[in-house]
Amino acid sequence: MRAKLDATRIETMQSLTKINDSLYTVDCKHDYHVDGMIESNSAGGVIKMLRYAFKNVTRKPVVVKTPRAGCSVFTAFNNDGEYLMGRNFDYKDAPCMLVRTAPENGYRSIGFTDANFFIWGKKRGPKQNKLYSRLLLAPLLCVDGINETGLAIAVLELKTPPLHQKTGKAPISTSIVIRKVLDSASTVEEAIEIFKRYDMNDIGGVAYHFVVSDSKGKSVLIEYLNGQMLLFYPESRQGSEEFLSVTNHFIAEGAPEPKRGAGYDRQKRIIDTLTEKGGKISAPEAMELLSNVQLNYYHKLGWPVRTLWSAVYNSTTASVDLCVDQNYQEVFKFKV
C-alpha cells in the first residue's frame, strides 16, 4: 500500500504542465486526506494543517502561504437558461494553477490556486524551483472551482478581523471547506449543510465570505457575522432577472466597515451592467464584465496587485472559460 501511495504522489508531481508563463496544470492522483484532516481536528489552522499534511500527504516538511486576496464574483443566467458564475481573483502577481482532482469517494473537479501560496512567485515558477512536493497540497489550497455536477464555489476576502467559531463542532478553515464542498456537494443546499457541520476558522488574518452556485440555477452568498452564518440569495433590480453580485465587503447589515477599499466601486459596475442587461449575460459578456472590474495597481509595500485569473463557470455544462494574466484575447476552455 505504501508503494502504491508513493507512486500516486510521484504521478501527481510529474503531471505538472506549463501552459504559459501564467498558467500551469496539475492532475492530482494521490490521496490528499481531506476527510482525515477534518476528522482529526487538524483543519482549523495553518500549523495543524501543515503538520497533518507532513505526516499524511507530503511525507516531508513544506511551507506555504495562507490565501489573501481581493476579488469579484457574480452569478446570473444566460439567454439559453444556463447558469454562470463570473469570478476574478486579484492578488500579488504570480502564475495560476489549475488543479484537477478525482477522489475515489467524491466528485471530479477543476479548481484554481495561486503560485503565491506555494511561495514560487512570478519570476521563478514551479518548474524552475523544482519544489514539486508542494504540488501535493494543491487540492487543499484552491480558492475557487467547479465539480462534475456543476457545483461551483469561490471565496472572497472581507478585509475585516478573522472569524474563529467555537461551538464544539470540528474546526474547518477557508480552503479546506472549499475542497470539502467540491468533493462532496452537488447542490447549494448540500453545500450549506457542509458549512453548517463545522466551526469556521478563517486563515490569513482576515475574514472571508463564499459564493456557491449549482446546475439547478441556484446560488448563495455565505457570510458569518457575530459568529452566526448568514445566507444571501440573488435579487432582482429594476425588473431584471435575479442575480448575485459580491466583492470584498459584507452584505449583512450591521457588519463592521472594512479598514480599506473593499470593492464598492467594482460591485456597482457589476450591478449596473447586469441590471442594464436585464439580469442575463452571455459567457463572452461575462468575461468582458470581469475585464471591466479587473485590478492593476501597486500595493503600498511596492509589489503589483493584479487580476491573476478571470473565470466564467457554467454550472449547467460543468465547464469553465478562463483568462489569465489579464489577457482577455485568449480564452482557455476546460470541462470537468
Convert the pLDDT of each residue in 172-185 to its tens digit: 999 999 999 999 99
pLDDT at residue 93 in the model: 83
For the residues 235-249, what does the mean pLDDT come to?
95
Position 68 pLDDT exceeds 70: no
> Looking at residue 2, what is its pLDDT?
44
- Mean pLDDT for all residues in the chain: 90
What pLDDT is attached to residue 296? 84
Does the pLDDT of residue 307 top 90, yes or no? yes
- When pLDDT is cut at 50, 70 and 90, the band that residue 3 belongs to is very low
* Residue 312, C-alpha cell as written in the block: 466564467
- The arithmetic mean of pLDDT across residues 291-320, rounded, is 87
Write the pLDDT tens digit of every residue in 136-146.
Answer: 999 999 999 99
More confident of the two residues 318 and 57: 318
- What's the pLDDT score for residue 283? 98
Q: Is the pLDDT of residue 67 over 60?
A: no
Mean pLDDT of 117-124: 62
pLDDT at 1: 39
Mean pLDDT over 99-117 rounds to 93
pTM given for the model:
0.93
Protein fold of 2-335: Penicillin V Acylase; Chain A (3.60.60)
Mean pLDDT for 44-69 is: 79
pLDDT band at 261 (very low <50, low <70, confident <90, very high): low
Q: Is the pLDDT of residue 159 over 70?
A: yes
Would you state the pLDDT for residue 327?
A: 97
Domain ranges of the chain: 2-335
